[in-house]
Amino acid sequence: MDFNKDTAKKTAELLLQIKAIKLSPQNPFTWASGWKSPIYCDNRVTLSYPPVRNFLKEEIAKLVEEKHGKPDVIAGVATGAIAIGILVAQELGVPFIYIRPEPKKHGRKNQIEGHLESGQNVVVIEDLISTGKSSLNAVKALKEAHANVKGMVAIFSYGFNIASENFEKDNVELTTLSNYEYMLEQALDSKYITSEELRSLEDWRMNPSKWKQNEE
């Protein structure tokens, strides 16, 4: 994946500054999957900081047009990417829809909310890519609705190999503003972490499911 290095590092710096990304190698977080992790990323925090959300809106919109041209529709993945997706759609002046993890149990039982016509070109917006499973589930719903999914643009990716494999297998082009490697580089440059903490963070990235699993 090609990155604009300046954009990738600035994105990482902003996420670290506002604590949308929290790094804690000494006292790791536990994810829902049971993995222990030295990083926790919640990009919804960006919505509380107008300069940050404006930067993300403009950079994602620029990336969408550079990679895919102006789409007919922007789609956000519920729930984390609904707000940033709306901002990007507004920036581009195109309609917005969002995709639920599964169809509603009542009413019209929609999985896709908003107006989508068969054959329309859609770019999907995500806030965070881990394994890519939920993101690709949204793409599947769009394809079943006969949308032409041009690709996906996200704020940040952990850069797991499993995610790359999943996107490649489903033939979906993924582009992100920043990723784990750029974030580590920026965190070290800005002294958010020490060299010793960097090694621990790199170890986690190499084998996240096993990292510190035997420690109490």
**142 belongs to an annotated ligand binding site:** no
Amino acid at 3: F
**2 belongs to an annotated ligand binding site:** no
Which neighbouring-strand residues pair with 124? 75, 152
Dihedrals φ, ψ of 182, to 5°?
A: -65, -35
Give the H/E segment covering residue 10.
helix 5-17
Rounded Cα gap, residues 88 and 183, in angstroms: 23
**106 belongs to an annotated ligand binding site:** yes
**65 belongs to an annotated ligand binding site:** no
**128 belongs to an annotated ligand binding site:** yes
**116 belongs to an annotated ligand binding site:** no
**15 belongs to an annotated ligand binding site:** no
**130 belongs to an annotated ligand binding site:** yes
Answer whether 111's CB lies under 8 Å from 143's CB: no
**126 belongs to an annotated ligand binding site:** yes
**174 belongs to an annotated ligand binding site:** no
Binding-site positions for orotate = 130
Binding-site positions for 5-phospho-alpha-D-ribose 1-diphosphate = 100, 104, 106, 126-134
Binding-site positions = 100, 104, 106, 126-134
